[in-house]
Amino acid sequence: MSQRDPRFNQHVLVDTTPMPDHIPKVDEIGATSAPLMSAAYFIGDRCKAYNDDFMKCKDEANGRGEIECLKEGRKVTRCAASVIKDINTNCLKQFTAHWECLENNNHYLFECRRAEQQLNNCVFEKLGLKKNIPGTPENQVPVHMRPKQKYAQYPGPQF
Amino acid sequence: MPQDMPPVGGYTSVQYKRNVPARGFKPVYYLVGMHMIMAYGFYKYFHGVREQRELAREKIWSRLYLTPLLQAEEDRDQVRRHLADKAREKELLGTEQKIYNSDRFIRPTYVYTPSKVTQ
């Protein structure tokens, strides 16, 4: 059901019928995987309420969530877009450095700690969003704050 | 007849040992050394596993924070196609038919593709 058989033809055949007018429009996020991964924790920090709201709506909709939770989904997308926009206006240099590093390193976060540290500091100063990994044991340094990463290509201190 | 007796002064000793000195340490030292090397290996291994666990936690939460966003986008696209299918059905058949005895949203098995190239 969730799988679509491949079509081996030369043309992209997509149903491009636009959304009906009675459903409000929203701009899609439009970012690729690396920037999204780079900004994921900031999106999670600012948009947690909207995200939880959307997932709860989907959970309680008894399989009709696709249609009934459009409103919550729009809020989720707008909130994430606002985070990306804020990071772009305030920390563009650090953000670009980090997601390009991710892009070049198979999306391994542990290869890009230096860029990540600079991005985290900038975002915390300008926007007040903090990277926090839930469930990290209390008595140890969170893995993104450790200068040495055992599994990185260069195992010495990255910053 | 006199009995055949050993020679006077006894037989000379027979060399049954190889004339090679025992090399190396006592075997127990090798046993202890092997265990120390293994202990060091396990020490490093456990630390590596702990870091792997934290890295996995970081990766999974970065995905969990993005999931609602990606799901919302996908849902919107599905609803758009669904509504377009409904409109097309109404235009062609005049009525809307329910093909499933369920009011859940069901992803279509067959996807409409336009007859002309659209992109």
Residues A92-114: tens digit of each pLDDT: 999 999 999 999 999 999 999 99
- Chain A residues inside the 8 Å CB shell of B81: 15, 17
Of A2, A77, A149, the CB nearest to B72: A77
Classify residue A103: in a domain, yes or no: yes
The domain total for chain B is 1
> What is the average pLDDT value for chain A, to the nearest integer?
92
Alpha helices (H) in chain B, listed in sequence order: 27-93
The domain total for chain A is 1
Classify residue B3: in a domain, yes or no: no
CB-CB under 8 Å, A70 with B76: yes
Of B67, B69, B102, the CB nearest to A29: B69
Classify residue A17: in a domain, yes or no: no
pLDDT in tens, A53-73: 999 999 999 999 999 999 999
Classify residue B68: in a domain, yes or no: yes
Higher pLDDT, A1 or A49: A49
**What's the half-sphere exposure (Cβ side, CA atoms, 13 Å) at B74?**
9
Classify residue B34: in a domain, yes or no: yes
Classify residue A7: in a domain, yes or no: no
- Chain B residues inside the 8 Å CB shell of A152: none
- Which residues constitute the domain of residue A55? 33-132+141-145
- Determine the pLDDT at residue B10: 86
- Which residues constitute the domain of residue B74? 24-92
Classify residue B79: in a domain, yes or no: yes
**What is the pTM for the complete model shown?**
0.83
User: Closest approach of chain B CAs to the CA of A23, in angstroms?
Assistant: 10
Classify residue A59: in a domain, yes or no: yes
In angstroms, the CA B66 to CA A133 distance is: 14
Classify residue B76: in a domain, yes or no: yes
CB-CB under 8 Å, A133 with B57: yes
Does residue A4 carry a pLDDT above 80? no
- Determine the pLDDT at residue A1: 57
Name the β-bridge partners of A157.
A148
Q: Which range, A15-24, B8-17, B74-83, B95-104, is most confident? A: B74-83
Classify residue B100: in a domain, yes or no: no
- Determine the pLDDT at residue B5: 85
CB-CB under 8 Å, B83 with A64: no
Lookup: tokens for B61: 């939460």
Classify residue B18: in a domain, yes or no: no
Classify residue A12: in a domain, yes or no: no
Higher pLDDT, B112 or B105: B105
- B69's CB contacts (< 8 A; 6+ apart) are A29, A36, A43, A47, A51, A76, A77, A80
3-state secondary structure of B64: helix
Q: What is the phi/psi pair of residue A157, to 5°?
A: -65, 130
Q: What is the mean pLDDT of residues A17-45?
A: 94
